Amino acid sequence: MNSRIVSLGEGGISLAGGSSFMSSVADRVIVKKEWLCDVVGRDLYRVNNKHDDEYNPFPPSKIVQWAEELVGQEFCYSLTSKNCEHFVNELRYGVSRSDQVRDALTAATISGVGLIALSAGVMFSRNKKQHQ
């Protein structure tokens, strides 16, 4: 079975296909309607409606209608605030969110705190050795 999907794209490349390089440099994207097999190729994929227990999804017919109305329109794109995950969550739930961005920021914060703690430990150790 081959389905059509609506996704964000840059030029001739769909960002839904995992083109992370293009998604990191694009600042304008076009909403495209493409064949699923053309976007995913031979990669595995799955439907991920992971927020259905947290938000009430709109009816599928409305989601499809809204998505198709956006085809051909150009939008600003930001990896951190207006990416593909924001786009689909906005269509499905009316909530613009990206767990990928949240998780990356959390990891960066934890790494930063760890680096600060490590630096403080090194400085304390040096200071202690100098006083001996």
| One domain, residues 92 and 114 | no
Over range 113-119, report the average pLDDT: 64
Q: What percent of the chain has pLDDT over 70?
A: 63
Give the pLDDT of residue 129.
59
Same domain, 102 and 80: no
The two tokens of residue 78 are 């930001």
Cα distance between residue 56 and residue 11, in whole Å:
33
Number of domains composing the chain: 2
Mean pLDDT along residues 72-100: 88
| Together in a domain, 93 and 106 | no
Rounded alpha-carbon distances, angstroms, from residue 32 to 52, 76, 120 = 25, 14, 50
In this structure, the answer to whether residues 113 and 89 fall within a common structural domain is no
Sheet holding 13-14, edge to edge: 13-14, 4-10, 28-35, 74-76
**Angstrom distance (rounded) from CA 57 to CA 61:** 11
Same domain, 15 and 71: yes
Asked whether 96 and 90 are in contact (CB, 8 A), the reply is yes
Model-level pTM greater than 0.85?
A: no
